[in-house]
A and B are shown apart, each in its own frame.
Chain A
Amino acid sequence: MAQQAEPADAGLQSIPALLARNAERLGGRPAYREKEFGIWQSWSWAEAEKEIRALALGMLNLGLAPGDHVAVIGRNRPAHYWAMIAAQMCGAVPVPLYQDAVAEEMSYVLGHCGARFVICGDQEQVDKVLEVQEHAPGVEQIIYTDKRGMRKYDHSRMNALEDVQSEGRAAAQRLSAELDARIAALDYDSTCVMLYTSGTTGKPKGVVLSNRNIIETARNTSEFDKLTYRDEVLAYLPMAWVGDFIFSMGQATWTGFTVNCPESAATMMTDLREIGPTYFFAPPRVFEGQLTNVMIRMEDAGRFKRWLFRHYMKVANRVGPSLLDRKPVGLGGRLAYGLGKLFIYGPLKNTLGYSRIRVGYTAGEAIGPEIFDFYRSLGINLKQLYGQTEASVFITQQPDGGVRSDTVGVPSPGVELKIGDTGEVFYRSPGTFVEYYQNPESTASTKDPEGWVATGDAGFFDQETGQLRIIDRAKDVGKMADGTMFAPKFVENKLKFYPNILEAVVLGNGRDYCTAMINIDLSAVGNWAERNNIAYASYQELAGHPHVYAAIRSHVEEVNRSVAEDPMLSGCQIHRFLVLHKELDADDGELTRTRKVRRAVIAEKFSDLVTALYDGSDTVYTETEVTYEDGRKGKIKATLKLENAEVVPGDEQKVAAE
Chain B
Amino acid sequence: MSDTMLLDAPAEGYVTADGRQIGPVVMDLKNITLRFGGVVAIKDISFDIRQGEIRAIIGPNGAGKSSMLNVISGFYVPQEGEVWFKGYRRGPMRPYQVARLGIARTFQNIALFDGMSVLDNIMTGRLNKTKSGFLSQALWWGPAEREEIANREQVEKIIDFLEIQNIRKTPVGRLPYGLKKRVELARALAAEPQILLLDEPMAGMNVEEKEDMSRFILDVNDEFGTTTVLIEHDMGVVMDLSDRVVVMDYGRKIGDGTPDEVRNNQEVIDAYLGVAHD
Contact = CB atoms under 8 A, between A and B. Distances in A.
Interface of A: 36-39, 148-149, 151-152, 263-264, 266-267, 270
B166 A267 contact: yes
B114 interface: no
Given A38-B156, A38-B159, A151-B222, A263 B19 contact: no
Contacts of A152: 18-19, 222
A149 B222 contact: yes
Nearest to B167: A266
B160 A36 contact: yes
Nearest to A39: B156
B168 interface: yes
Interface in B1-46: 18-19
A156 B159 CA distance: 31
Interface string B204-235: 00000000000000010011000000000000
A37 B168 CA distance: 11
Grouping DSSP codes into helix (H, G, I), strand (E, B) and loop, the A interface class, with mixed when no group exceeds half, is loop
B223 A264 contact: no
Contacts of A38: 152, 156, 159, 165, 168
Interface in B122-162: 152-153, 156-157, 159-161
A235 B55 CA distance: 44
Given A37-B153, A267-B166, A148 B159 contact: no
Nearest to B219: A149
Grouping DSSP codes into helix (H, G, I), strand (E, B) and loop, the B interface class, with mixed when no group exceeds half, is helix
B157 A37 contact: yes
Contact of A148 (B18, B152, B165, B219): B219
Contacts of A151: 222
Contacts of B168: 38
A344 B266 CA distance: 72
B270 interface: no
Given A37-B153, A37-B156, A38-B156, A148 B161 contact: yes
B220 to A, nearest CB: 11
B65 to A, nearest CB: 30
Contacts of B222: 149, 151-152
B80 interface: no
Can you list the 6 inter-chain pairs with the closest CB atoms, starting with the nearest?
A: A266-B166, A37-B156, A267-B166, A38-B156, A263-B165, A267-B165
A151 B222 CA distance: 9
A149 to B, nearest CB: 6
A38 B154 CA distance: 11
A155 to B, nearest CB: 12
B163 interface: yes
Nearest to B18: A152
Given A37-B153, A37-B156, A148-B223, A264 B161 contact: no
Interface residues of B, number: 16
Given A37-B157, A263-B165, 14 more contacts: A36-B160, A37-B153, A37-B159, A38-B152, A38-B165, A38-B168, A148-B161, A152-B19, A152-B222, A263-B166, A264-B165, A264-B166, A266-B166, A267-B166
Contacts of A267: 165-166
A152 B222 CA distance: 9
Most buried by A among B160, B165, B168, B223: B165
B160 A37 contact: yes
Contacts of A36: 160
Contacts of A149: 219, 222-223
Contacts of A39: 156
Nearest to A269: B166
B161 A266 contact: no
Contacts of B156: 37-39
A137 to B, nearest CB: 27
Contacts of B223: 148-149
B161 to A, nearest CB: 7
B196 to A, nearest CB: 18
A299 to B, nearest CB: 19
A242 to B, nearest CB: 28
Most buried by A among B152, B161, B166: B166
12 contacts: A37-B153, A37-B157, A37-B159, A38-B159, A39-B156, A149-B222, A151-B222, A152-B222, A263-B166, A264-B163, A264-B165, A270-B166
B178 to A, nearest CB: 15
Most buried by A among B159, B160, B223: B160
Contacts of B163: 264
Contacts of B152: 38
Nearest to A262: B165
A149 B161 CA distance: 11
A266 B18 CA distance: 32
B81 to A, nearest CB: 38
A149 B221 CA distance: 11
A38 B165 CA distance: 8
A39 B160 CA distance: 12
Contacts of B153: 37
Nearest to B164: A266
Contacts of A266: 165-166
A346 B15 CA distance: 61
A5 to B, nearest CB: 33
Most buried by B among A37, A151, A263: A37
Contacts of B18: 152
A37 B153 CA distance: 7
Contacts of B219: 148-149
A152 B223 CA distance: 11
A267 B163 CA distance: 11
B21 to A, nearest CB: 11
A152 B219 CA distance: 12
Nearest to B215: A149
A148 B156 CA distance: 15
Interface in B153-189: 153, 156-157, 159-161, 163, 165-166, 168
